[in-house]
Amino acid sequence: MITEDTRRLVDEGIMLPLMEEFYTIQGEGFHKGTAAYFIRIGGCDVGCHWCDVKESWDAGLHPPTHIGKIIENATAYSDTVVVTGGEPLTWDMTQLTQGLKNKGSKIHIETSGAYKLSGQWDWICLSPKKKKLPTDEIYPLANELKMIIFNKHDFKFAEEQAAKVSEDCILYLQPEWSKRDKMMPLIVDYVMKNPKWKVSLQTHKYLNIP
């Protein structure tokens, strides 16, 4: 049972439901290959049927954890921190990112952008989902757009989303993991015909690391 006090601290972003934290190599997108400390915050109701961390969805399963502890752990390992989930923007990220910034961390977020943007970010990886589109405010701020390709229609959705981000936003197509053998040849073909896009692979899954 969560007390009223804990609930208030979570609402204020002083505590967050922490699913897991781990030091690894960023596997995806622009920073792939870079060592980083990952903070996975529980809670997401976007509901992607192919989500590879469904265990994260129910915030109630993940212990409310003081951000001071999260920051202490992260900064002991790495100067680059990736905040992911779940959907991290379910929560107010102001306090967590301020605390990390005070310690000089480079702070990256992996987000669907479906909820109000909070926090200060050095790098925003926006991965829009059809079921709950990003808020208008996040598109111009995204540093990379990472579209997941599960079927052929996803190329059209990817183009619609690319039309909304800034000129300098780096565009990635990433195969949905279970469909990678089927979709990868289509992605290769698409990127050669439309070279504003780049391929992103979930390289950590090939490397067998978290």
Ligand X SMILES: C[S@@+](CC[C@H](N)C(=O)[O-])C[C@H]1O[C@@H](n2cnc3c(N)ncnc32)[C@H](O)[C@@H]1O
Residues forming the annotated binding site for [4Fe-4S] cluster?
44, 48, 51
Does residue 127 interact with ligand X by CB under 6 A? yes
Listed in sequence order, the residues at least 6 apart from 32 whose beta carbon sits closer than 8 Å to its beta carbon are: 25, 26, 200, 201, 203
Strand-pair partners of 109: 83, 124
CA–CA gap between residue 48 and residue 88 (Å, rounded): 15
89 in Cβ contact with 113 (< 8 Å): yes
Does residue 117 interact with ligand 2KA by CB under 6 A? no
Q: How far apart are CB 172 and ligand 2KA at their closest, in Å?
A: 12
Nearer to ligand X, 71 or 87 (CB): 87
Per CB under 6 A, contacts with ligand SF4 among 1-20 are none
* CA-wise closest residue to 149 among 141, 158, 140: 158
Residues making contact with ligand X (CB under 6 A): 44, 50-53, 84-85, 87, 110-112, 127, 146, 148, 174, 176-177, 202
Residues making contact with ligand SF4 (CB under 6 A): 44, 46-48, 51, 53, 56, 85-87, 112, 129
